[in-house]
Structure 1
């Protein structure tokens, strides 16, 4: 998994980190709504928990999932993990601006690097799986997260699904989404070309469920969808 994650870290360099907030909100219609609903789903799953430790994997960029969770549950604390230093720095700036840095432990690296005895009440993995090449890398990151979760703890997984070329209508609508935000026809072609070459999403919701089951999680509940993107809540099995 680390070799695959290293490629992801290289992909999310300084230039991409600087534009991530704007670009992600165009590429994912409903970006902030997804983050808000993820926080709501975790809070609903955890019940009336006054305090919780949440592991946020792939936290770099906007840190919006942490901001959304902290708004809903001010007593929660977070561990943010990301292999991309520029992306983690961008998240640090966002958390500092939101006065949330003291609630968050920032970790440049991988889930496997965390202390073995570190355990969490919940976790999020948002916008990560489709950047990992192959099912083995996807299962590995899920298993690594599971190893740090308490029994029955909830996990939010969100990202793209389907082989992009297998859904031409969704792909065309994605192009129109960029055009809606000012991209020229040539710019749309470039963006779609990068999309087709730059990720390896699970090919169906069934494939997502299988990855989760293989890694030791239960059936997942989908609570958000936007073109290729979906978000699910699952829980660690015994």
Structure 2
């Protein structure tokens, strides 16, 4: 089941095979983001807790958390079957036992009811249309125990317009240009980075940080705290 807004990079076999390199080329401090995410979860998730991973395709965060917390069990959900297959391969290569991870093809509505001790949604929300974000966040919250943490991180930049912006006109373009510059510094050819930047600007619903925080609160989360910023990316931890 592929979402109409699911980028072809998650369904094209060649692109899927190259996926593991992408987050590190695109996201400043990606490995540290993974470590921070599991540290935030571990503040509340017990040694033998259960974690929901939304957008689990590729398996990078699943592998990271499974290695660091051998008692945790995971349910991962993703709308791309090829990306789920890649996650399964990665976990098998990392010798993560099958009984610790269940992978589900679909959206968060396809995930078990839980209740889960914590959840992550990394590098996923920017692919979700604005009107679908509150319902999606609410579905995540519905599956969490009261007081459980949700860790999210995705593209989120100021637009410079009014009190919701974090600077003057052109602020959004500046941050997206820095996003492209980071890709170039990571070894991406400049023409490919420029194309990626234009694609993000034209096709993704990249909201402002204030809008992203408001979505979490409207979905019923409290204590929304920003813990990460890497050029055009932001990350928050919130409480169900």
Fold shared by both chains (TM-score > 0.5): yes
CA separation of 1:219 and 1:163: change in aligned 2, threshold 3 A:
same
Aligned twin of 2:237: 233
Q: Partner of 1:191 in structure 2?
A: 196
Report Cα offsets for 1:44-93 as digits up to 9, x if no partner: 233xx2210100000001x2222222232210000010010111111111
Cα displacement (A) at 1:218? 0.3
* Aligned residue in 2 for 1:16: 15
User: Aligned with 1:80: secondary structure?
Assistant: strand
CA distance 1:10–1:23, change in 2 (3 Å): closer
> Could you report, residue by residue, the CA deviation over 1:12-69 in whole angstroms, capped at 9, with x for unpaired residues?
21333222211221110211110111001110233xx2210100000001x2222222
Cα separation, 2, equivalents of 1:183 and 1:114: 35
Output the CA distance in 1 between the equivalents of 2:138 and 2:8: 23
Alignment partner, residue 149 of structure 1:
144
- The answer to whether the 8 A contact 2:138-2:219 is kept is yes
The normalised TM-score by structure 2 is 0.87
- The answer to which of 7-16 and 75-84 deviates more is 7-16
Give 5+ residue unaligned stretches, structure 2. 160-169
Pairwise CA distance, 1:188: 2.9
**Do structure 1's residue 137 and structure 2's residue 137 form an aligned pair?**
no
What are the residue-to-residue correspondences of 1:67-86 with 2, within 5 Å?
A: 67-86=63-82
C-alpha contact 1:10 1:84 (8 A) present in aligned 2? no
TM-score by length of 1: 0.88
Unaligned 5+ residue runs, structure 1? none
Deviation of the 1:166 alpha carbon = 4.2
Corresponding residue pairs, total: 228
